[in-house]
Amino acid sequence: MEEKYQIIEGRYIDSVLLMQISREIEKMQGVSKASCMVATAENISFLEMVGFHPPTGVSANSIIIAIQAESAQKCEEAINRAVHLIDTGIVQHKTSYTLDDLPDLIAPDDFPVVFISTPGEYVYDIVNKSLDSGANVHIFSSNVPTDQELRLKTKGASKGLFVMGPDCGTSIINGKGLGFSNALETKGDIGIIGSSGTGIQELSVLMDRNGLGISYAIGVGSNDLKEPINGIMSKQALNFLKERCSAIAFVCKNPDPSVERALLESLGDIPSVFISLGRDERYNTGNTYVTGNIDDGVSHLMSKIGKGHKIQQEPFPKMREISKERKLLRGFFVGGSLCYQAQAILHGMGVHVYSNAPTDNQYKVGKDFDNLNVCIDTGAEEYVAGKPHPMIDPVSRNSILVKESGRTDVRVILFDVILGYGSAEDPIAGLDQIRSGPVLVASICGTEKDIQGYQSIRRRLEDKGVVVFRSASRAAEYAGTMMR
DSSP 121: G
Mean pLDDT of 215-235: 96
What pLDDT sits at residue 99? 86
Instruction: Give the confidence band of 280 by pLDDT, cuts at 50, 70, 90.
Output: confident
pLDDT reading at 285 higher than 70: yes
Question: E strands along 174-253, which residues?
Answer: 176-179, 190-194, 214-219, 247-253
Domain ranges of the chain: 2-88, 99-304, 328-482
**What is the layout of strands, in order, in the sheet containing 2-9?**
2-9, 62-69, 31-38
CATH number of 99-304: 3.40.50.261
What pLDDT sits at residue 180? 93
Contacts 24+ apart (CB under 8 A), 366-374: 371/328, 371/409, 372/328, 373/328, 373/329, 373/330, 373/346, 373/483, 374/329, 374/330, 374/331
pLDDT tens profile 355-382: 999 999 999 998 789 999 999 999 987 8
What pLDDT sits at residue 349? 96
pLDDT tens profile 301-330: 998 887 666 777 889 998 888 999 999 999
Count CB-CB contacts under 10 A for residue 459: 12
Q: Phi then psi for 63, rounded to 5 degrees?
A: -105, 135
Instruction: Give the confidence band of 331 by pLDDT, cuts at 50, 70, 90.
Output: very high
Question: In whole angstroms, what is the distance from residue 309 CA to residue 302 CA?
Answer: 6
Contact 423, 392 (CB under 8 A): yes
Contact 119, 142 (CB under 8 A): no
Instruction: Give the three-class secondary structure for 442.
Output: strand
Q: Does domain 328-482 have CATH number 3.40.50.261?
A: yes
Question: In whole angstroms, what is the distance from residue 484 CA to residue 479 CA?
Answer: 9
pLDDT tens profile 107-136: 888 899 999 987 788 899 999 999 999 999
What pLDDT sits at residue 92? 54
Q: Phi then psi for 224, rounded to 5 degrees?
A: -65, -35
Instruction: Give the three-class secondary structure for 338.
Output: helix
Cβ-in-10-Å burial (0-12, 13-18, 19+) of 5 comes to middle
Concatenating the DSSP letter of every residue in 247-288 gives EEEEEEES--HHHHHHHHHHHTTS-EEEEEET----EEETTE
pLDDT reading at 76 higher than 60: yes
Residues in contact with 179: Cβ distance below 8 Å, sequence separation at least 6, in sequence order: 115, 138, 140, 168, 169, 170, 171, 197, 219, 421, 422
Is 328-482 the same fold as 2-88? no
Instruction: Please name the fold of domain 2-88.
Output: Gyrase A; domain 2 (3.30.1360)
What pLDDT sits at residue 312? 79
pLDDT reading at 94 higher than 60: no
Instruction: Give the confidence band of 89 by pLDDT, cuts at 50, 70, 90.
Output: low
